Amino acid sequence: MTSEVYVTRIFSSPAQIDTGDWQALLALDTDASPFVQHAYLHALHESGCARAPAGWQPQYLTLWRGEVLHAACPLYLKNHSYGEYVFDWALANAYAQHGLDYYPKAVVAVPFTPVPGARLLALDEAARSALVRALVEHTRSEGLSSLHLLFVQPQDVAACQSAGLMLRHTVQFHWTNVAPTLPASQGPLPPEGAVSPGGGPAANPVAPTLPASQGPLPPEGAVSPGGGPAANPVALTINPDAPALRVAATQFHDFEHFLASLVQEKRKKIRQERRKVAEAGVVFRCAEGAEISAPDWEFFYRCYERTYIEHGNAPYLNRAFFRHMASDMPQNWVMFIAEREGQPIASSLIALDGARRVAYGRYWGALERVDCLHFEACYYQPLAWCIANGVQRFEGGAQGEQKMARALLPVKTTSAHWLAHPSFADAVGRFLEREDEGIGDYLARLSSRSPLKAPRPDERG
């Protein structure tokens, strides 16, 4: 298959793409999170977590000139919508009501990972734009209902918008390691490089009717925040050739300094919740990177698995996947284990992008119930660790307004969509316009409830 001056090749496994070629493209992207690394995607495939039997059929789409890889993306054919976190069940139901098949669909995403970042890896913007056009061409030629690019970064958004894809926005909650100097009414600090474009498909005067709003999905089983403590002031060394992380002057000095940035009500609540955990006799220990032992990984998985079972679901990720993480990407993980009377009772895991100094709340679970343990493991411990280690941002994952009370502030994320059926494309475009207005109102309401103190008059200049 060809697209302009590029040759399009599709691979059924990331292992069929040279690691060096993939990583070279990833290195060019300013939003290159650990989750798009070749090793991470390979682990999802080799462990069986993201393969056809699980409803994720890999069709990695790449563009080449000669033997040089110019663009690539993790494309999957999906026969369900689980593990995506951009919910389209209402659309699937609408297709079914009109006698149409919504599945299979094409999805460019990191399976089970609602983390904004690079999805379209490219040597330059021309290659990125060509990659989007090749994706649409592939979706159309395969007779698929639709194409969805989830949690894309700004350059990807621009390429998708230029190709006529519709944009959809959702809200996440992120924490920034900087003492605020803006009035609380101005809302959250924006993520690095964030843009907020709009978009829509070609119109068609005859369209099926879609619901004005989507109802909530049943939980997919995952509890999205990650976890981790840190009263340890020792800076984490990202790699042997790089200096240890150091706290910049504009960052919080310690957890108390962070608490001082919050309104009194929030400070009081956080202190009460932390006190309950401490009074229950719970302490945390931290293991970083290669220090995470095999027994630690095994205990963590028991906790992680329990979280899913309690929600009536099988876990998305299996032990084999985490064994790959332990052997192939240990530097990207920090584990926290809660103990009581010398026995482990809970564990949480955060991912780390050392180059960009960003941490990601990912997984947690507990074998015993302790009041407020979830808040301690998933918010307060990781924030304390981030402060101690100079991490600039902590992303708390999908959904969860309760995160805002812990100073994780709302951030708008973007996905891009193309539908083959023109009437449905028109209906969805109008639906997304209404939904986007609702997202704007929602963000405004959230901003009015900021947990941050308004700065003193002498701090506003």
Quick: pLDDT tens for 193-230.
333 333 333 333 333 434 333 333 333 333 333 333 33
β-strand 393-398 against 358-366: which pairing, if any? parallel
Residue 180 predicted with pLDDT over 60: no
Which of 210, 248, 5, 175 has its CA nearest to residue 89?
210
**For residues 99-120, average pLDDT:** 97
Do 27 and 87 have their domain in common?
yes
Mean per-residue pLDDT, 147-152 = 98
Q: Which 3 state secondary structure label does DSSP give 114? A: coil
Domain-located, residue 198: yes
CATH number, domain containing residue 265: 3.40.630.30
pLDDT at 353: 96
Tell me what pLDDT residue 52 has: 97
Residue 358 CA: distances (Å) to CA of 141, 245, 407: 39, 12, 16
pLDDT confidence of residue 274: 98
Q: Residue 382: pLDDT band by 50, 70, 90 thresholds?
A: very high
Residue 367 lies in a domain: yes
Is residue 149 within 8 Å of 120, Cβ to Cβ? yes
For residues 36-65, average pLDDT: 98
pLDDT digits (tens, 9 = 90+) for 327-352: 999 999 999 999 999 999 999 999 99
- Whether 240 maps to a domain, the answer reads no
Residue 246, in any domain of the structure? no
Total domain count, the chain: 2
Are residues 89 and 183 both part of a single domain?
A: yes
Sheet of 68-73: strand order equals 2-3, 6-11, 60-65, 68-73, 121-122
Judge if 417 and 347 occupy the same domain.
no
Is residue 267 scored above 50 in pLDDT?
yes
457 within domain boundaries:
no
> In terms of domains, do 184 and 88 share one?
yes
- Same domain? For 359 and 433 the reply is no
Q: Which of 84-88, 201-205, 292-296, 450-454 has the lowest mean pLDDT?
A: 201-205
Mean of per-residue pLDDT scores for the chain: 86
Confidence bin at 325 (pLDDT 50/70/90)? very high
**Per-residue pLDDT, 232:** 34
> Where do we find the tokens 């050739």?
241
Beta strands in 146-281 (DSSP E): 146-149, 166-176
Q: Do residue 357 and residue 311 come from a single domain?
A: yes
Are 82 and 207 members of one domain?
yes
Mean pLDDT confidence for 231-240: 35
Name the pLDDT band for 397 (thresholds 50, 70, 90). Answer: confident
Q: Which helix (H) or strand (E) holds 276?
A: helix 264-279
pLDDT surpassing 50 at residue 2: no
Do 358 and 426 belong together in one domain?
no
Least confident of 17-21, 128-132, 180-184, 377-381: 180-184
**Which range among 77-91, 126-140, 246-260, 441-455 shows the weakest confidence by mean pLDDT?**
246-260
User: Is 347 in the same domain as 434?
Assistant: no
Same domain for 184 and 317, yes or no, is no
Domain assignment present for 227: no
Q: What is the pLDDT of residue 184?
A: 37
442 with 332, same domain: the answer is: no
Please indicate, yes or no, if residue 173 is contained in any of the structural domains. Answer: yes
Q: Is the CB of residue 69 less than 8 Å from the CB of residue 121? A: no
Q: Identify any residues that bridge with 250 across adjacent strands, giving them in sequence order.
A: none
Shared-domain flag, residues 67 and 189 = yes
Domain span at residue 267?
255-398
Q: Residue with structure tokens 């790449």?
A: 62
Instruction: Please give the share of the chain, as a percent, with pLDDT higher than 70.
Output: 82
Mean pLDDT computed over 127-137: 98
- Domain-located, residue 242: no
CA distances from 364 to 306, 382, 397 (A): 9, 12, 12
Peptide bond into 104 cis (omega under 30): yes
